[in-house]
């Protein structure tokens, strides 16, 4: 069995999708399944040169499987050839890839609802993504209009089998877009990356600031007023320009830690007392998961990732000031048994080998009859 993963060329090694595919390939390798990255050259101005993104020779950046470079116009032919060889094709719902699919009728192709950009049209700029789903879907736009607007993006999901990256995403797809979901495949994480993260000395606050359309600056400001003194320097990563603008508008001193690769980011998680992720437009943000795996409590909109973490003293709802105050006092003397229990709970569903086995089972159930 062989699994081919589609990666558009505008995705750099700093992107979440690159990390997801690296971890998934690692898991597939450990369970004895061959994997391959199909790196597709797009016309995007942000296109990353293939040689800079993936080096299979030295294995510094893409350590598992193999990789091939394909021009966007040749992708259909390449996928046909891979399928004749018995490969299963998995494409994440990246914006470029979903638009390319269009009317493409490709056998043995599964779409992994990972980014789910289509939800933007349903919940556009609505503050509280943690609850009130019906109100969210109908209060901002008429429900039928919102669904029609999102269909141009989600249409390929009606033509191919779809895996959701969480129960939360599955519910959004099925309830509001009537997309049939074949199963849930959680985002894989490499446990070994976090093995030494629990013993770090911690101080200060680390914030993740996404783009202007995804970040609730008001919620971040309210949280910082509870958690930090006005003269405290706040470290942040993500959108540098937007983060510094936030500091100017709300009067906080912001320190951009730079565009760092994952190992450095994990070190930063582990060295801070708390991580704040005020992202309200995502379907399963990984920042809270990565923070908890690093042994650091997190404040965020809690609904999506709580299906994995469960109730925990290490997680506070960004919409609940009382909860933040109560739990922050606990975090000052957080015991390592609590940290390890949360980590184990996450890895039960998201460890890369486990996710790889789930993927293989789903693909076999869907497509093996065709061979």
Q: Rounded to 10 degrees, what is the CA torsion of 47, 48, 51, 57?
A: -120
Question: Do 314 and 342 touch, CB atoms closer than 8 A?
Answer: yes
Q: Kindly report, residue by residue over 247-295, the tens digit of the pLDDT.
A: 999 999 999 998 888 889 999 999 999 999 998 766 677 899 999 999 9
If DSSP codes are grouped into helix, strand and coil, which group holds residue 92?
Answer: strand
Q: Are 40 and 4 in contact (CB under 8 A)?
A: no
SS3 assignment for 19-39: HHHHHHHHHHHHCCCEEEEEE
Question: Residues 6 or more apart from 187 whose CB is under 8 A from it?
Answer: 20, 23, 114, 165, 284, 286, 289, 350, 355
Residues with Cβ < 8 Å from 357, sequence gap 6 or more? 27, 31
- Decide if pLDDT at 359 tops 90: yes
Question: Residue 47 gets which letter from DSSP?
Answer: P
Q: 39: which strand partners?
A: 7, 69
For residue range 18-74, list pLDDT tens digits in order.
Answer: 888 889 999 999 999 999 889 888 876 656 677 666 655 554 455 566 888 888 888
pLDDT band at 125 (very low <50, low <70, confident <90, very high): very low
Per-residue pLDDT at 144 exceeds 50: yes
Q: What is the DSSP string of 351-367?
A: BHHHHHHHHHHHHHHHH
- The set of long-range contacts for 91-95, using a CB threshold of 8 Å and a minimum separation of 24, is 91/5, 91/6, 92/6, 92/17, 92/20, 93/117, 93/118, 93/157, 94/6, 94/8, 94/11, 94/17, 95/153
Give yes or no for residue 138 having a pLDDT over 90. Answer: no
Contact 185, 355 (CB under 8 A): yes
Phi, psi of 39 (to 5 degrees): -85, 115
The Cα–Cα gap between 84 and 243 comes to 48
What pLDDT band is residue 232 in, cutting at 50, 70 and 90? very high
| Spatial distance between the Cα atoms of 68 and 88, rounded to a whole number of angstroms | 15
Rounded to a whole number of angstroms, the CA Rg of the chain reads 21
């Amino acid at each position: 069995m062989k699994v081919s993963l589609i990666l558009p060329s505008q995705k750099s090694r700093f992107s979440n999708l690159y990390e997801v595919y690296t971890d998934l390939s690692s898991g597939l390798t450990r369970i004895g399944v061959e994997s391959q990255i199909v790196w597709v050259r797009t016309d995007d101005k942000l296109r990353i040169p293939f040689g800079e993104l993936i080096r299979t020779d030295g294995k510094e950046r893409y350590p598992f499987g193999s990789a091939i470079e394909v021009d966007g116009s040749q992708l259909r032919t390449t996928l046909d050839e891979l399928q004749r060889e018995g490969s299963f094709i998995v494409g994440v719902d990246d914006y470029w890839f979903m638009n390319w699919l269009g009317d493409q009728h490709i056998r043995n192709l599964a779409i992994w609802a990972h980014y789910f950009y289509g939800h933007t049209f349903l919940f556009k700029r609505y503050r509280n993504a943690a609850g009130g789903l019906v109100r969210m879907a109908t209060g901002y736009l008429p429900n039928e209009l919102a669904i029609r607007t999102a269909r141009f993006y989600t249409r390929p999901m009606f033509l191919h089998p779809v895996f959701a990256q969480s129960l939360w995403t599955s519910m959004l797809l099925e309830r509001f877009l009537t997309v049939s979901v074949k199963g849930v495949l959680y985002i894989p994480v490499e446990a070994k990356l976090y093995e030494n993260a629990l013993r770090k000395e911690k101080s200060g606050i680390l914030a993740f600031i996404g783009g202007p359309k995804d970040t609730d600056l008001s919620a971040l400001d309210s949280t910082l007023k509870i958690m930090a003194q006005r003269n405290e320097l706040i470290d942040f990563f993500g959108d540098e320009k937007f983060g510094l603008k936030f500091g100017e508008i709300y009067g906080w001193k912001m320190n951009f830690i730079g565009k760092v690769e994952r190992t450095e980011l994990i070190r930063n998680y582990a060295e801070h007392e708390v991580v704040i992720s005020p992202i309200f437009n995502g379907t399963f943000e990984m920042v809270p998961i990565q923070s908890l795996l690093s042994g650091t409590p997190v404040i965020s909109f809690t609904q999506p990732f709580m299906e994995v973490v469960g109730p925990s003293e290490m997680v506070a709802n960004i919409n609940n000031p009382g909860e933040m105050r109560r739990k922050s006092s606990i975090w000052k003397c957080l015991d390592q048994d609590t940290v390890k229990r949360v980590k184990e709970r996450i890895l039960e569903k998201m460890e890369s080998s486990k996710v790889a086995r789930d993927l293989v089972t789903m693909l076999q159930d869907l497509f093996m009859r065709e061979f």
